[in-house]
């Protein structure tokens, strides 16, 4: 149980275009999902917390207009990188928290590698 998927697993896009990444909880409902970014040889940095049916909360320094997060259902959250640039190339990882679990629990997706050319 507690499986989280991400799609696509990797994507290459041209500079200036937008790309959408999906995060799905496959066997549980997730009231809260998190989006992380990981640059090569660096740690995971939390970008935003999304709660189903409400606006995402972004961490300091993360541009909300550039990284659009939608958590429209209890099993799906999407991250859209708008007007992508090469510096947005990174590994994006989502995690999901089931509502019945204690607040510390998160289940991670396999990640999406974004390359902007």
Partner 1 sequence: AQKVTQAQTEISVVEKEDVTLDCVYETRDTTYYLFWYKQPPSGELVFLIRRNSFDEQNEISGRYSWNFQKSTSSFNFTITASQVVDSAVYFCALSDLMEYGNKLVFGAGTILRVKS
Instruction: Please choose, out of 11-19, 60-68, 76-84, 99-107, the segment that lies near partner 1 by the rule CB under 8 A.
Output: 99-107
Contacts with partner 1 by CB under 8 A: the residue count is: 17
Nearest of 22, 81, 73 to residue 47 by alpha carbon: 81
Among 29, 42, 115, 117, indicate the residue that binds partner 1 (CB under 8 A).
Answer: 42
Q: Are 23 and 109 in contact (CB under 8 A)?
A: yes
Q: Quick one: tokens of 21? A: 């990444």
53 binds partner 1 per the rule CB under 8 A: no
Give the residues across from 20 on adjacent strands. Answer: 80
Strands, sheet with 19-25, edge to edge from the N-terminal-most edge strand: 4-7, 19-25, 76-81, 67-73
Q: Minimum Å distance from CB 6 to partner 1? A: 10
**Smallest separation (angstroms) from partner 1 to the CB of 4:** 10
- 35 versus 84: smaller Cβ distance to partner 1: 35
Q: Is 14 exposed, middle or buried (0-12, 13-18, 19+ CB in 10 A)?
A: exposed
Cβ closest to partner 1, residue 12 vs residue 16:
12
Which residues of the chain form contacts with partner 1 (CB under 8 A)? 34, 42-46, 49, 91, 93, 95, 103-104, 106, 108, 110-111, 113
């Amino acid at each position: 149980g507690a499986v989280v998927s991400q799609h696509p697993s990797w994507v290459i896009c041209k500079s200036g275009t937008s790309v959408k990444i999906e995060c799905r909880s496959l066997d549980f409902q997730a009231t809260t999902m998190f989006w992380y970014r990981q640059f090569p040889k660096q740690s995971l940095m939390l970008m935003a917390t999304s709660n189903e049916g409400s606006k995402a909360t972004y961490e300091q320094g993360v541009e909300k207009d550039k990284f659009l997060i939608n958590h429209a259902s209890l099993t799906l959250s999407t991250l859209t990188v708008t007007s992508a640039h090469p510096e947005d190339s990174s590994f994006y990882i989502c995690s999901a928290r089931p509502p019945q679990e204690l607040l510390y629990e998160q289940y991670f997706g396999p990640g999406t590698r974004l390359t902007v050319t």
